[in-house]
Amino acid sequence: MSLFSGRYVHQHGGYNNSQGLWPDSPNMVRCIRDQGYDTVQRGKLHLFWRHDNELTMSDPLLDAFGFTDAVETTGKCSAGRLRGSAYTEFLRSRGKLMPFWKDLADRSWNRKGTPAWGKSILNEDEHIDTWIMNRGVDCLKAYQASKKPYLLWVGPPGPHDPFDPAGRWATMYNPDTLDVGLRRDSQDPCTLEFVHKEHGDRYRQAPDHVIRQMRSQYYGNISAIDDGIGKMVSELKSQNRYDQTWFVFAADHGEMLGDFHCTGKTIFHRASDQIPLIIKPPAHYTQCPRGTLSHALVELIDIGSTLNDIAGGQLQDDMGRSLLPLLTGRKNVHHFREVCFSQFKANAMFRTPTRKLIYTFDQMFAVDQKPTLNTLYHLDIDPDETTNQLQDHMDEAMALYEKYAQPFYMKTSPEKLPDLWEDQEPWSKWGCYPHVDSMYKD
């Protein structure tokens, strides 16, 4: 929702998967379409209008959002709640839909006992990530003769859990050669609460070889997606359009992958809140600092602002900052933001190049109140975020909050989108999920 709207979480109000933007909300896709672009999409969007609308019938909504050609799927459906989409119909045509769904439910129901990883029962070309990346290649072929510029958004759900590479990707990485990660307790109270609630001692007690095996499957998922990107690059080169094309690669969140005895996201350790961002400009941007690795701070909403800038549009009340001046050589690529922010429910974090402060509000989005300061990391001497410096440096932490967080909330709080589209999630009220439950009845 932040990427679409250019607003922060406390502005648009969305904090979980049961909420979504209204189709007529200002968003980056419609902004780009209005500049004369075809806006094309294949794969996961994470817009979540689950119970109100099936994805096979979402075309009018996607059109209202600003897509001229879209095929939406769900994600990896790690809770076993598979929904109808073009991908499920593809599996049905192969006779794989029900076996896959049963296997997905088995993995999901077993999450409390053992890690939900392991080789997929599907063939490589049937796996959702590969299937979506191949649809991206198909789009490049379909739009080869188009005279209009186009934005192609390809959204593979992976490497989200369950980590389930197919075929060769499941055995690509030898677990015995992999780093086991940070096998220790976090000193951040938010992380400790998450581990206790979601995992208990599950990963704390797991032997090292289990963590390494899990990581090998995660890396296999990544390599399958990377292979799909390579196919798209090859297709553009065969069309002689690669040098005219922008590539932007990013993710919506990271993955703890066993660090601090947890997996998943929603916490403010580096493995969860620091995501990849790779940008390749067209060849005629000769001043671009190519082949450069930058540690400059960037926020997810800056990606939408950058794409809007490239297309020549301006999103209404956009809180992001365009990276185009860095990518065209007009500004130093190693310096962008002095500070960046992240939010999850009542928890929030900001970080500078050398400091990270994690704090909690008493109520959701009560950003006009003083929060409880939880954790301070000195990243210049502790890049792995293993030592909470708050108790010994409380004055520094409060000074940082007053310098960065208070002005940030004063600047951003007045702007808010209309109330969100609320999904009713009937299974959360029923206490059961009939589709999945039925698979386990005699």
Task: State the pLDDT at residue 424.
Answer: 67
Locus of tokens 């070889």: 209
What is the distance between the alpha carbons of residues 29 and 38, in angstroms, rounded to a whole number? 10
Q: pLDDT tens-digit profile of 311-344?
A: 999 998 999 999 999 999 899 999 999 999 999 9
Q: Interior CA angle at 149 toward 45 and 224, to 5°?
A: 45
Asked if 7 contacts 411 with a C-beta cutoff of 8 angstroms, the reply is no
Task: State the pLDDT at residue 299.
Answer: 96
On the question of pLDDT at 112 being above 60, the answer is no
Of the listed ranges 152-166, 168-182, 312-326, 407-421, the one predicted with least confidence: 407-421
Point out which residues pair with 154 in neighbouring strands: 42
Task: State the pLDDT at residue 177.
Answer: 97
Q: pLDDT tens-digit profile of 402-416?
A: 999 999 998 887 666
What is the distance between the alpha carbons of residues 128 and 88, in angstroms, rounded to a whole number? 9
pLDDT-derived band at 108 (thresholds 50, 70, 90) equals confident
Share of the chain above pLDDT 90, in %: 71
Q: pLDDT tens-digit profile of 25-34?
A: 899 999 999 9
Residue closest to 32 by CA, chosen among 369, 318, 420, 309: 309
Of the listed ranges 297-311, 357-371, 422-436, the one predicted with least confidence: 422-436
On the question of pLDDT at 203 being above 70, the answer is yes
Point out which residues pair with 421 in neighbouring strands: 20
Task: State the pLDDT at residue 37.
Answer: 98
How large is the average pLDDT for residues 100-121?
76
Q: pLDDT tens-digit profile of 417-426?
A: 778 887 766 6
Amino acid letter, residue 47: L
What is the distance between the alpha carbons of residues 281 and 284, in angstroms, rounded to a whole number? 8
How large is the average pLDDT for residues 385-406?
97
On the question of pLDDT at 123 being above 90, the answer is yes
Of the listed ranges 50-59, 264-273, 345-354, the one predicted with least confidence: 50-59
What is the distance between the alpha carbons of residues 307 and 407, in angstroms, rounded to a whole number? 27
Task: State the pLDDT at residue 56.
Answer: 85
Class of the CATH domain delimited by 2-440: alpha beta
List CB contacts of 147: < 8 A, sequence separation 6 or more: none
What is the distance between the alpha carbons of residues 220 and 440, in angstroms, rounded to a whole number? 30
Residue closest to 415 by CA, chosen among 276, 313, 319, 281: 319
Average pLDDT of the chain is: 91
- Is the C-alpha dihedral spanning 133, 134, 137, 141 positive or negative? negative
Q: pLDDT tens-digit profile of 233-249?
A: 999 999 999 999 999 99
Hey, how many other C-beta atoms are within 10 angstroms of the C-beta on 297? Answer: 18
Task: State the pLDDT at residue 115.
Answer: 57
Q: pLDDT tens-digit profile of 52-103?
A: 567 888 888 899 999 999 999 988 876 677 888 999 999 999 999 999 988 8
Category of 263 on φ-ψ map: left (φ > 0), alpha (ψ -120 to 50) or beta = beta
Asked if 29 contacts 341 with a C-beta cutoff of 8 angstroms, the reply is no
What is the distance between the alpha carbons of residues 79 and 105, in angstroms, rounded to a whole number? 7
List of E strands, 321-426: 340-344, 347-351, 355-360, 372-378, 421-422
pLDDT-derived band at 429 (thresholds 50, 70, 90) equals confident
What is the distance between the alpha carbons of residues 285 and 150, in angstroms, rounded to a whole number? 19
Amino acid letter, residue 432: C
How large is the average pLDDT for residues 285-303?
93
Give every strand in the sheet of 340-344, ordered side by side: 340-344, 347-351, 355-360, 372-378
Q: Where do the domains of the chain lie?
A: 2-440
- Is the C-alpha dihedral spanning 254, 259, 264, 267 positive or negative? negative
Point out which residues pair with 19 in neighbouring strands: 422
Share of the chain above pLDDT 70, in %: 94
pTM: 0.94
